A and B are shown apart, each in its own frame.
Chain A
């Protein structure tokens, strides 16, 4: 039963990661990111005590909230709101995400030899997020998509790393990194409309 739930969570992470690639609106992307952190928390809680694993969820939601709040802005940004161009583009992204999903799934037996303490579902969830985040980084030039891609990659890494090490300092630093990335993302969203210092 537990394995079934874990498999469901891994699948949920793949859907969230793929949807972030496809949806055009920044608010939708950020909402999906917040949902993605629920999955990350659930897979991390398999390896860690709940009270430490919940740090991932809190940090992730804080990151998503920081990004979301940065969108409450003036009219000139609205034109940049839709970040994915066309129907063929969306179809291509879906195809690329499926390819990533399949290739990562085929790598699962090898990856399991590297992460001995991890369940197959944890490894699958982790490598899927790593792959989809890297895809986002490779295909995007918009700063917000790059920040979301990095947060996705770090989430995937956190799932895998949680099966290897459970240091409080490392957990805290990774949580800070997530929030820091979100703050930088928010700053980059607003930088162009801020007052020039010189």
Chain B
């Protein structure tokens, strides 16, 4: 037995098996919760490369699997990442309501999660780009439910991910061919440009940003929320490993400046989109775009920024989960989730609207909510760099807050209509209420999430 078999092949098998049970969504949901719990627990408890006893058998869990001469490695230092990824799957499985989320969500999302772990585990790491292409195929199927045509945003997502994969494969080969030690600066700079293009495609950095608002506007809010949350985590993890293992840091290349520039650009786009958009789906796209920007800024701080990134990711998961659940419910009561169409929704369905408001302003960085202390920490970390970076970080948050206030004030208007429709069943209401409470509590006690993030970073770095 080896860790790749346990955390890649076995979950993939269960994902495939789950597709045969799409007529039983409740069974799938609770199976997903069970599998997510088991996988998270196994990743946090089982010793790697040491014998342990399971019932009658003595088992040694090897940390690698050889496939056609290439290794898939999940060692002790990768353990926190595996726990985090399966933990995220567990969270989304727990909050999903089988009544308003397509039944194939559980098996396909498990397969997607597994592909992210595979991309992270493969050695040499640049092969991971191929698994992101497979992930894109899976996302296209998830976002194109039976009974409807695929949306343009989904097709654009597919195009960008495939092109990104090709650029990364080519850049990785080019870099290995140049050989860092030979100091061929021209070829090195060429491979860096191609690599930057590849990651720009994968991370939807300008000008490849358009699929995020398109998908957020036209596709199922719960599924798109899950994809935004998990997919970008996967790309960031893959990117960090790619840079570390590829020896890019060892060359003294200044990666901070381009990372910060890209981050700032995303914050500007996120802020501007939030101010000008009228669609609740596109508003969530503004949040996601801004989160990519902040994550890039966090990554630009390297060792100091990793705990901030992981803390931001945990808050983002809770907030996006809350947002997606609320928007899915709101969508079932409205013909369109446009701000004007949703006028008065805050009065008609206060609990569901509260989920939108809490999660939005958490990710916008409103004080007292869970996002604010982390963005403050990020700003502190960026003090050593040019002041305009922090300036844009603040302006980006301001843009999100202004956009949010403008949109949500319409939701609170008295539309003069009394809707007899009671949106959301008890399960969704409990989820929204609980997540609102968590976001509020984490805003008051941010050290909890920061300590967990610090622990993940320490374990990942082997310190």
- Chain A interface (Cβ < 8 Å from any Cβ of B): 114, 137, 141, 143, 146, 149-150, 153-154, 157, 161, 164-165, 167-170, 172-174, 176-177, 180-181, 183-184, 187-188, 191-192, 194-198
Which of B48-56, B67-75, B455-463 is found at the contact surface with chain A?
B67-75
- Chain A interface SS verdict (over half): helix
**Most chain A CB inside 10 Å of its own CB: which residue of B104, B163, B174:** B163
A169 touches B102 (CB 8 A): no
13 A-B pairs with C-beta separation under 8 A: A141-B155, A146-B158, A146-B159, A153-B162, A154-B162, A167-B68, A177-B133, A177-B134, A180-B137, A187-B141, A191-B147, A195-B147, A197-B145
State which residues 109-150 of B face A: CB under 8 Å. 127, 130, 133-134, 137, 140-141, 144-150
State whether A196 touches B70 (Cβ < 8 A): no
Complex-state Cα separation, A141 to B149, whole angstroms: 12
Alpha-carbon gap, A187 to B149, bound state (A): 10
Main SS class of interface, B? helix
Q: Interface segment, B165-173, B246-254, B311-319, B439-447?
A: B165-173
Q: Give the chain B neighbours of A181 by CB distance below 8 A.
A: 137, 162
- CB-based closest 3 A-B pairs: A196-B147, A194-B146, A169-B68
Contact of B449 with A by CB under 8 A: no
Q: CB distance A197 to B102 under 8 Å? A: yes
Q: Which residue of A lies closest to B129 (CB)?
A: A173
User: Does B100 interact with chain A (Cβ within 8 Å)?
Assistant: yes
Min CB–CB distance A34 → chain B (angstroms): 20
Nearest-neighbor residue (CB-CB) of B167 within chain A: A157
| B432 contacts chain A at the CB level, 8 A cutoff | no
Tell me, rounded to whole Å, the shortest Cβ–Cβ distance linking B9 to chain A: 15
**A interface footprint on B44-69 (CB within 8 Å = 1, 0 otherwise):** 00000000000000000000000111
The answer to whether B100 touches A198 (Cβ under 8 A) is yes
Q: A192, B159: Cβ atoms under 8 Å?
A: no
Establish whether residues B163 and A192, one from each chain, have CB atoms under 8 Å apart when the complex forms: no
Contact A137 B159 (CB under 8 A): yes
Complex partner residue of A197 from B22, B127, B141, B174, CB under 8 angstroms: B22
Picked from B104, B130, B137, B159, the residue with its CB within 8 Å of the CB of A173 is B130
Q: Once the chains are docked, how many angstroms separate the CA of A143 from the CA of B174?
A: 32
Q: How far is the CA of A194 from the CA of B150 in the complex (A)?
A: 13
CB distance B163 to A153 under 8 Å? yes
Nearest chain A residue, comparing its CB with the CB of B152: A141
- A188 CA / B148 CA spacing, docked (Å): 9
Chain A's closest residue to B173 (CB) is A164
B103 CB–A CB distance under 8 Å: yes
User: Which residues of B are found within 8 Å of A153, using beta-carbon distances?
Assistant: 162-163, 166
Cβ of B69 and Cβ of A196 under 8 Å apart? no
Decide: A170 near B166, CB < 8 A? Known: A191-B147, A197-B104. Answer: no
